[in-house]
Amino acid sequence: MKVSIVQKPPIYLDLEKSMVRAVEIVQESAAMGCDMVVFPEVWLPGYPTFVWRLPPGAGMGKTDALYALSQANSVDLGKNGLRPLQEAAQDCAVVVVIGYQEIDGSVSGSTLFNSCAIIDADGRLVNNHRKLMPTNPERMVWGFGDGAGLNVVDTAVGRVGALICWENYMPLARYALYAQNIDIYVAPTWDSGDTWFATMQHISREGGCWVIGCATALEASDIPENIPFRDELFPNEDEWINAGDAVVYKPFGGIMAGPMHQEKGLLTAEIDVAAARASRRKFDASGHYARPDVFSLTVKRKKQRPVLFE
């Protein structure tokens, strides 16, 4: 099985144009013989990196304007917001994993979530996971997720699951995926560098699975001129806002491909999916090493809804 990991930036905070680019990337990857395409965290419509650059309180006026633009370019599943990608996945017969910003129109139509969708090769949306805990200033943008999407699902390329960015530092969340016989563990992120690589390496060994880590490779020059406060937030045109650092680790450790550092394009790798389960002969965190007589984990999968006035 061949996987394509995306290190091309979206059209920042422009959902329509970014969706067109995403479909083109899926088509390009399929033409290269890839069976699976993985996009980074909040690739649609672009990670709100401005929350790390504006101070709370004093910067709220600017944050509000950028939040409004980001909100207006979010994906509503209730309105088939991922349909173009689902159709591309079906047409190209590839599995697509994509991080995106979700707006839930079925509740308030205002709250945003950091979500990750898994689309099977027949175009079906087989899982949608919302980030459980937004990190630090991200809480000014996103609501909290729940356990409803904490699933590993069967796809045309094997059993796939995903945790987003620093969720991968949450041992119980990781274990919830390990316990579902995971083959390919996807970690869409905004993180990069040696510490992140160490985490990906650890997960590949702990979980006995293929691990794919990827962040958006983004330069200041990629930010469109019409983005509010652009010159203040990104004054250095030569700045690498995020190095990308796409990487693939083998089951039980060792780099298979990457890291792809400060480079835009597609990182590809050939994956033997069966090697994941075979690697767990030595150490199976949720199997023969689990000690269920000592430890247990309960996952509340019910989707949490706010109480609404009637």
Q: Where in the chain are the domains?
A: 2-279
| CATH number of 2-279, picked from 3.60.20.30, 3.10.28.10, 3.60.110.10, 3.40.50.300 | 3.60.110.10
Length of the chain in residues, anyone? 310
- Above 60 in pLDDT, residue 237? yes
- What CA–CA distance (Å, rounded) separates 280 from 251? 8
d(CA 4, CA 30): 9
pLDDT at 6: 98
Average pLDDT (129-148) is 93
Q: What percent of the chain has pLDDT over 90?
A: 88
- Name the strand (E) or helix (H) holding 211: strand 210-214
Here the tokens at position 22 are: 């995403």
**Helix or strand holding residue 158 (H, E):** strand 158-162
Q: What pLDDT is recorded for position 62? A: 74
Q: Would you place residue 33 in the very low, low, confident or very high pLDDT band (cuts 50, 70, 90)? A: very high
Q: Distance (Å, rounded) from C-alpha 112 to C-alpha 105?
A: 10
Calpha distance 88→123 (Å, rounded) = 7
pLDDT digits 0-9 by tens, 265-283: 999 999 999 999 999 999 9
What pLDDT does 170 receive? Answer: 97
Q: What pLDDT does 235 receive?
A: 93
111 touches 103 (CB < 8 A): yes
Provide the annotated active-site residues.
41, 131, 165
Cis-peptide into 259, omega within 30 deg: yes
User: What is the average pLDDT across 123-150?
Assistant: 94
The two three-digit tokens of residue 249, written as one number: 């680790």
* Cross-strand pairs, 160: 153, 184
- Report the range of poorest mean pLDDT among 3-7, 203-207, 224-228, 247-251: 224-228
pLDDT reading at 309 higher than 60: no
pLDDT tens across 188-215, in order? 999 999 999 999 999 999 999 999 999 9
**Which of these ranges, 85-99, 101-115, 180-194, has the smallest mean pLDDT?**
101-115
**Residue 45: is the preceding peptide bond cis (ω within 30°)?**
yes
Largest CA distance in the chain: 59
pLDDT band at 304 (very low <50, low <70, confident <90, very high): low
Mean pLDDT of 6-17: 97
Cα distance between residue 251 and residue 237, in whole Å: 39
Which residues have C-beta within 8 Å of that of residue 38, sequence separation ≥ 6? Answer: 3, 4, 5, 6, 96, 97, 98, 186, 188, 212, 214
Q: Whole-angstrom Cα distance, residue 210 to residue 160?
A: 10
Q: How far apart are CA 307 and CA 310, in angstroms?
A: 9
> What is the pLDDT at residue 58?
64
Element (H, E) at 117: strand 112-119
Q: Which residues pair with 185 in a beta bridge?
A: 161, 211
pLDDT at 310: 39
